[in-house]
Every structure is written in C-alpha cells, then in structure tokens.
Amino acid sequence: MSSQELVVLSVGGVRFVTRASTLQQFPESRLARMVNDNDREFKLVNGEFFVDRDGTLFTYIMDFLRTLQVSLPTDFSDYQRLQREAEYYGLYPLADLLSQEHLLKPRLEILEVHFSLQEMQAFFRIFGSCSTTIEALAEQITVFTGQLSGQGWNSPFSSQKRLVPVPLERPSHHDMVFPCGTEYSAGDQVVARYVSIKPDNRKLINGTNVLGLLLDTLLKDGFRLISTRTVASEEKVECYTFERMKRAAGLAIMVNQTAGSSGVAQARRSQVQKRK
C-alpha cells in the first residue's frame, strides 16, 4: 500500500479516514504493521480495517499521529485508559508521555481585579497566578494621557491636547497597575488619563466604564467570576476574583529516522505552549 493511499478504520464502530503515512509514523507500532498487512488481528472487511477497541479514545490517538503532540480537553480524565490504548497499539512514546499525567492536566488559574475610586480618578490593580495571562492583558490595555484646559472642562474633546500612550506600571510579572480619570496639575491644567482595552477601540475615562469593559473582556476570555468583596470600605476598594481552567503545556514528540536503522522512531520529549 502506498503512503499516499487512504486507509479507512472502524474502531469500536467509529469510522476514521486517514493516510497510510500517518499510521506509519512509528514503524514498529501495530498500526504501521496493520497497514503493511503484518498484523493478522486487524481484519480488512469491505475495504475497512475493523478494530475492536474504544473509538472515542482512538480520536486522541489519531490526533497524536497527525500532530505528534498530546493535546487533551481540559475536562479529560481517562489518562490511564488512553495510556493502555497507546500501549495496545504499540505507540510507546505516546504511552510514555501519558504516564506524565501531572504535566498534561489543566491547572486552575486565579485572577483578581482591585478597583478603587478616589475623587475624579480610578485605580486598577490586576493580580494573576499565571504570568503569561498578565503579559497578554498588558498587551491589550493601553493608558493614554493628555492635558485639558480648565476653561474647557465642559467640552474636553475640543480643548484636549494630543493623547500620548504611557506604559503600565508592572510591580512584578504577576500584576499590573494603571489609573484613569482626571487630576489637576500645576496651574489651571487638568491631566486626563484614558484607558483602551483591545479589541475595543474606545478610549474611556470613566473608571466605572473601564471596570465594566475589563470584566467583560475577562469573561469573554474564559474566566468565571467567583466572588466580589469590599477590601477597604473607607477607601472604596473592591475586589473581583476570577478563575478558569488553563490548558497545560502540551508534550510533543520529535521523530527522527536514522539512516541504516531498523526504522524505529527515536522520540524526544519537549514542552510546547498550547493556545487556550
């Protein structure tokens, strides 16, 4: 059978169509031997290979063969069963990765938003258990500053000078701080700070509006609001706590075929960051 030909499998009643070359990624596996007609247990019936195994778990087997990565849903729990299936098919590099269950399980991510109002200004502080999430938020949030004329306060846009983006304050890799609103500076000038949160293009100066947009952005990103509380009533500091299950870093197999070898795939483990 040519590696360009299609192969049809019926695994536990679930039908799969793939290329022979996909099933031959690991030449010593039973799937490769099946394609090469060297495994008599897998019978070819009406042009389809019948396999009396779990068809749902075979979906993850096929995904691994196509991508050489272990990528499982956040609610997946059948690690031992999938490992047993990998061993049955002779996919021992996959079985080895699945034995490292602690690296594949999703982790609970916590994020807190502290919000305080002080006269005409609002202050935000965001804490996150995952630094990459804070980095991503820092790329989405931009603070713009400009000056307003005191006489033009009722019509700020007509008297507003050019807005300049300013960097967010980053006390650590796990938090960020930024303000919005207005404050008086020397003379009769008012400093205005606007906040923009991508993909929304608006520049908001009202702290309550910025808070609403920020919370909506987090909810759309898969976070779930689990609590709200007042941290300090005299300072009007509110805290919003979110959580979400963050997909763990995937594990990948790098397959190298060495010249003159028996065709056994050499596997090397490495961690790759998966999209959420």
Instruction: Answer left, alpha or beta for residue 200, where phi above 0 means left and psi between -120 and 50 means alpha.
Output: beta
Q: What pLDDT is recorded for position 232?
A: 67
Q: Which tokens sit at 42?
A: 């897998």
Side-chain half-sphere CA neighbours of 142 within 13 A: 13
Instruction: Answer left, alpha or beta for residue 254, where phi above 0 means left and psi between -120 and 50 means alpha.
Output: beta
Whether residue 34 contacts residue 23, with contact meaning beta carbons closer than 8 Å, is answered with: yes
Closest listed residue to residue 41, CA positions, set 2, 89, 106? 89
Q: What pLDDT is recorded for position 257?
A: 43
How do the domains of the chain map onto residue ranges? 6-104, 108-246
Closest listed residue to residue 128, CA positions, set 250, 225, 232, 241? 241
Rounded alpha-carbon distances, angstroms, from residue 148 to 157, 162, 193, 201, 208: 8, 10, 10, 21, 21
Q: Does domain 6-104 have CATH number 2.40.50.220?
A: no
Q: Which tokens sit at 233?
A: 């009533």
List phi, psi (to 5°) of 138: -65, -30
Q: What pLDDT is recorded for position 254?
A: 64
- pLDDT tens string, the chain, 276 residues long: the values are 444 589 999 999 999 999 999 999 999 999 999 998 878 788 888 889 999 999 999 999 999 999 998 888 877 889 999 999 999 999 999 999 888 877 787 788 999 999 998 888 999 999 999 898 999 999 999 999 988 655 443 444 444 568 899 999 999 999 999 999 988 776 667 889 999 999 998 999 999 999 999 999 999 999 999 999 987 666 678 999 999 987 666 667 665 543 333 333 333 333 333 333
- DSSP of 37-55: T--TTSEEETTEEEE-S-H
Residue pLDDT, tens place only, 39-93: 878 888 888 999 999 999 999 999 999 999 888 887 788 999 999 999 999 999 9
CA distance 71 to 265: 20
pTM: 0.61
CA distance 273 to 276: 9
Question: What amino acid occupies position 133?
Answer: T
